[in-house]
Amino acid sequence: MHKHHHEHHHDDTTTTEVDSKNATTHHHDENCCAHETSSEINEANTPDRLTEMAEKIDEFKNLYLRSQAELQNLQKRSQDEIKKARDYAIMSFAKDVVVVKDYLEMALKDESGNFTAIKTGVDLTLKQLIQTFERQYVKTIEPEMGNKLDPHLHQAVSAEEVEGQAPNTIVKIMQKGYTLNDRVIRPAMVVVAK
């Protein structure tokens, strides 16, 4: 009975020694992993690596600033070109209109009382103006009688009962319309059938 108790005590001691050994091994593994992780962090944050990262950041920053500057220059250049084109178009139109003004002033100064001569002068002035319109891409909107009303080109000022004519078709032209580069400056003023 006493011998059996002694053997049991020996087993407990063996188990305690194994547990202690396992704990020591686990603690060693943790220390080993921690040491490796620490080494990796230290390796990643070496002065050379940090310097390289800082240089990359500066490079991207400079690239961004250059891109912004180029974009601003492009926008400014586009605005300048648009302004120049607009100024040129206005100057070209103004030069042509000045000539028409000269002709009208000459017609008003005519004191001969010769109606035919005055009429000829006005006719020449009108032709000059028509040529100016053609050069500046100004076109006349002059619909024909009986045409259907086009709300993009015509504006109905009134409606009349007209026998034999379909409703909403043009009966009379009150005033011509005009387009500039195919954009309506003024629609033609018309009377339509009811």
Q: Where are the domains of the chain?
A: 49-136, 138-194
Q: How confident is the model at residue 42 (pLDDT cuts 50, 70, 90)?
A: low
Q: Average the pLDDT over 85-112 and give the result.
A: 86
Tens digit of pLDDT for each residue in 72-89? 888 888 888 888 888 888
Q: How far apart are CA 1 and CA 147, in angstroms?
A: 131
CATH of 49-136, one of 1.25.40, 3.90.20, 3.30.200, 1.10.443: 3.90.20
CATH class belonging to 138-194: mainly beta
Q: Average the pLDDT over 7-12 and give the result.
A: 46
Q: What three-state secondary structure class fits 167?
A: coil
Question: What's the pTM?
Answer: 0.55
Q: How confident is the model at residue 99 (pLDDT cuts 50, 70, 90)?
A: confident
Tens digit of pLDDT for each residue in 131-150? 999 988 999 999 999 999 99
Element (H, E) at 156: strand 154-160
Q: Average model confidence (pLDDT) for the chain?
A: 80
